[in-house]
Amino acid sequence: MAFRAAFSLLSTLRRPVAVLRSLKQPGRTRPAHYGMQLRPLHGTAPRWSARLLTAEEMFGRRSMQDYLKKLEREYEESLQKANSSESGEGLEEEQLRAMRTRIHRMAPLVQSLRELETNEAELREAEALLTDDDPEMRELAALDIQHGRQHVQALQHMIMELIVPDEEVDLCDLVLEVTAGVGGQEAMLFTAEVFEMYHGLSRHLGWSFEVLEYMSNDLGGLRRGCAGISGPCSYKRMKFEAGVHRVQRVPRTEKQGRTHTSTMTVAILPHPTQITLTIHPKDLRIETTRASGAGGQSVNTTDSAVRIVHLPTGTVAECQQERSQLKNREMAMKVLRARLYACRLEEETSRRYLARKIQIGTKGRSEKIRTYNFPQDRITDHRLGRSVHHVEDFMLGERLLEEMNSALQEFSNQESLLELLGENV
Amino acid sequence: DCVAFKCIRHYFPRNSILSCPLQGICGTHSAPLSTYQAPPPIPGSSMTAFQAMNLWRRCFEERGVGEPDQSSQYIVAHLLGAKTIESLGHEKLNKPLSCAKMEQLWELSVKRLSRMPVQYVIEEWDFRDLTLKMRPPVFIPRPETEELVELVLADLQGKEDTGMHVVPQLTCLEVGCGSGAITLSLLKDLPRLRAIALDQSRHAVDLTRENALRLGLEDRLLIHQVDVLKEPEVLLSLGDSISTLVSNPPYLFSEDMTFLEPELLRFEDHAALDGGEDGLDVIKQILTAAPKMLSIHGHVYLEVDPRHPPLIQQWVKDHVPGLSYLETRHDITNRPRFCILRRER
């Protein structure tokens, strides 16, 4: 429910446009190819022209109710089968194990569904009391209803969370990569600020943030930076931050007070486990300053920078963040692994999500997702088509960014859910 | 410097150069000593950390101090409480330095100007996960040795994971512990390991103990001051059930000592570098004692000069029954750097 509070903070600047759009396209019957193929690269039209449905509206849909009933039925049947085969008849060992896993996984969902039913029944009882003769009774009933509704909504949210399928990589740690785009020094300064913003967000959400690469210039700008982020839901959230971020402001270096527009890119690379990605040592070339001469005890160098080249693909990662060469090598490997994995993932997902409107992770790399307008003190997310004020607060990476990010997640969840229910989004 | 080093080794016949390492000070690299220049004065106006760093980088460069970029960066980073300039952030770099900080910076940088290694100047350095105290003349651990620890760890971790209920008590012996880098790394990553660390130098023994205390690893560690060249019999008194013997012994050829950078020649303990005529003096002592000290199938891990592996293999075959040469491993720059041997029945 936090996101709903977030929306009250979001300015309604673009909302009339969004509503107009959804009116023009009644019954959610946009052509299926409305997705990324036809989207102009630098368009600012909101990605989600439809509005976000409330939990109540979602549960009011027949398709949703049918789907939930189906799940419950499935659970009951599985439970019955598993129990009857325990007494010695029917299923193979393996089938049985698969079924038990499924039962185990569905249990919290079914539990919540039953709780919801009970709560809804209680709510109806309380509503009946609203017409009671006793004013005190009516007051009590109103209070009950208020509490009951909150509880029901919370349950509905939980159920929706449980239904939306996790992506394979949702549970991964990730590597954040920021790169300065168009706009020279100003773009690099903004890149440094965005990097710091995500550092702030990590602190705010209790994630670990480990700087892996920081290629700055003398004036304090950042050409490219990488950081390893891990913590609960870190990839799940951060994937919505990937894309081109645009800044509009008067740069510090600008003498005539003109507003410049610059860009930077955020990539979110899921960090693969050892099993999902194997790299052969012979495919790597490791470069250090100790490569010439005799090395070992005969030289004492303090330059512990490490650069690793993956020869078959030409992918490069380097690190000079640490005083220990081994640590630098480990960090460079981490970045390299993430980059190689991202390439492979990109190939796989481009097939799977071709038709989806939301592009996440590396896929959205070229899409402009957000504008930070300093003169108007406003941040606009082009996918939501909504704005929020107080750029400086936003860039602390705390509440405002968290709320915008939550809104994106809600939208994406809704889309997944409708897709799951077989509705034409 | 490295190219010169290589060429000289190739073109000068052995022993044609005096083997006393101290004479190297007056050799080819000693120009800055004879022509003494006063350090640059502290500027009257205030400076940002970034400006001061650039000033010292230029100064180091002009006076032929090695790694001028890194030296100025590490010193400034240390001054501002960070490990590297990359982890400092540009905001701190662009702030003016206080008078006290300026004085501190000058004090540290002047030390570096005398060719004192950066690690001694800032009095600490990182080795793998550990930050260790560094103090002259105790040998400064090199990055190759981080890889040596990697090899030993893989082996010992395998031995701990036997799958049996009773895990064998593992004991590791290090000869020539210096600042304690190897032993302390092993103790940190293997919480059941016990270790014995030896060094011929009082300074090294003290520094290892100090580092162990700082890291809270002293409980499982015994430290002795022993010179294995002078009293090899002490090695045998340390027991006969050592699981692993590890050493980064002095392995430079005496003739090569002359061509070392002044940083090493003037500040590091020569006894930790000079391995004798063929660089094998200490190595031979270790390998001779190894079969009597190791438990059956216990391993020896050595860091050596790239010319050493075939020499060691042959020598062990001829002189040390009960010890077999298993393999040579390369460092990340692909030089043959590590020897692994095993005690047989």
Q: What is the pLDDT of residues A92-123, one digit of tens each?
A: 777 788 888 888 888 888 898 999 999 989 88
**Which residues of B are known catalytic residues?**
139, 248-249
Note whether A326 contacts B150, CB cutoff 8 Å: yes
Residue keyed to tokens 């890889």: B147
Give the model's pLDDT for residue A252: 81
Statement: residue B248 has pLDDT above 50: yes
Question: What are the residues facing B327 on neighbouring strands?
Answer: B340
CA dist list (Å): B39 to B7, B32, B44, B69: 33, 12, 15, 17
| B17-24: Cβ within 8 A, 24+ apart | B17/B255, B17/B258, B18/B258, B19/B254, B19/B255, B19/B257, B19/B277, B21/B254, B21/B257, B21/B258, B21/B260, B21/B265, B21/B270, B21/B273, B21/B274, B22/B265, B22/B270, B23/B258, B24/B257, B24/B258, B24/B259, B24/B260, B24/B265
Of B129, B140, B337, the CB nearest to A300: B140
Query: In terms of pLDDT, which residue wins out, B88 or B338?
Result: B338
Statement: residue A352 has pLDDT above 90: no
Average pLDDT over residues A83-91: 64
Within the 199-258 window of chain B, which residues sit less than 8 Å (CB to CB) from chain A? 248, 250-252, 256
Of B6, B264, B333, the CB nearest to A300: B264
- How does DSSP classify residue B167? P
Rounded Cα distance between B256 and B258, Å, is 5
Statement: residue A317 has pLDDT above 80: yes
Note whether B306 contacts A294, CB cutoff 8 Å: yes
**Number of neighbouring beta carbons within 10 Å of residue B135:** 16
Query: In terms of pLDDT, which residue wins out, B167 or A144?
Result: A144
Q: Structure tokens of A327?
A: 């640590």
Within the 118-137 window of chain B, which residues sit less than 8 Å (CB to CB) from chain A? 118-119, 125-129
Q: Where is average pLDDT lowest: A382-386, B151-155, B201-205?
A: A382-386
Statement: residue A78 has pLDDT above 90: no
Statement: residue A412 has pLDDT above 90: no
Statement: residue B223 has pLDDT above 90: yes
Chain B residue whose CA is closest to A305:
B70
Chain A residue whose CA is closest to B338:
A296
Residue A214 touches partner B, C-beta closer than 8 Å: yes
Query: In terms of pLDDT, which residue wins out, B162 or B251?
Result: B251
Statement: residue B128 has pLDDT above 80: yes
Chain A residue whose CA is closest to B118:
A302
Domain assignments of chain A as residue spans, ordered by start:
2-163, 172-420
Q: Which tens digit of pLDDT belongs to each residue from A276-304? A: 678 888 899 999 987 777 899 999 999 99
Statement: residue B3 has pLDDT above 70: no
Give the model's pLDDT for residue A89: 58
Note whether B264 contacts A293, CB cutoff 8 Å: no
Note whether B128 contacts A326, CB cutoff 8 Å: yes
Average pLDDT over residues B256-276: 95
CB B115 within 8 A of CB B32: yes
Q: How do B242-247 and B294-303 pair as beta strands?
A: parallel
Statement: residue B6 has pLDDT above 50: no
Statement: residue B332 has pLDDT above 80: yes
Confidence of residue B212 (pLDDT cuts 50, 70, 90): very high
Helix axes A325-352, B143-160, angle to 10 degrees: 70
Note whether A320 contacts B86, CB cutoff 8 Å: yes
Note whether A295 contacts B252, CB cutoff 8 Å: no
| Percentage of chain B exceeding pLDDT 90 | 74
In terms of Cα–Cα distance, which of A232, A270, A271 is closest to A360? A270
Rounded Cα distance between A242 and A397, Å, is 15
- Looking at CA atoms only, how far is residue B257 from chain A in angstroms? 8
**Number of neighbouring beta carbons within 10 Å of residue B108:** 22
Note whether A297 contacts B252, CB cutoff 8 Å: yes
Q: Which chain B residues are closer than 8 Å to A295 by Cβ?
A: 142, 144, 306, 331, 333, 335, 337
Give the model's pLDDT for residue A199: 95
Give the model's pLDDT for residue A294: 83
Statement: residue A16 has pLDDT above 70: no
Q: Where is average pLDDT lowest: A212-221, B4-13, B303-312?
A: B4-13
Q: Report the amino acid identity of residue A154.
A: A
Residue A163 touches partner B, C-beta closer than 8 Å: no
Give the model's pLDDT for residue B177: 97
Give the model's pLDDT for residue A216: 83
- Return the HEC string of A168-219: CCCCCEEEEEEEECCCHHHHHHHHHHHHHHHHHHHHHHCCEEEEEEEEECCC
Residue B274 touches partner A, C-beta closer than 8 Å: no
Give the model's pLDDT for residue A349: 64
Statement: residue A164 has pLDDT above 50: yes
Average pLDDT over residues A229-254: 90
**Exposure string for A4-22, b = 16+ CB within 10 A, e = fewer:** eebbeebeeebbeebeebe
CB A268 within 8 A of CB A238: yes
Measured in whole angstroms, the distance separating CA A241 from the mean position of its chain's CA atoms is: 7
Residue A184 touches partner B, C-beta closer than 8 Å: no
pTM above 0.95, yes or no: no
Q: Say how many CB pairs under 8 Å bridge A and B.
A: 124
Give the model's pLDDT for residue A47: 55
DSSP-based three-state secondary structure for B334: coil
Mean pLDDT of chain A: 79
Chain B residue whose CA is closest to A219:
B90
Statement: residue A178 has pLDDT above 90: yes
Q: Structure tokens of A262?
A: 């610059």
Statement: residue B144 has pLDDT above 70: yes
Give the model's pLDDT for residue B60: 96
Give the model's pLDDT for residue B153: 96
Residue A212 touches partner B, C-beta closer than 8 Å: no
Give the model's pLDDT for residue A364: 44
Chain B residue whose CA is closest to A225:
B86
Give the model's pLDDT for residue A87: 57
Give the model's pLDDT for residue B42: 87
Average pLDDT over residues B306-330: 96
Average pLDDT over residues B47-63: 94
Q: Which CATH architecture has domain A172-420?
A: 2-Layer Sandwich (3.30)
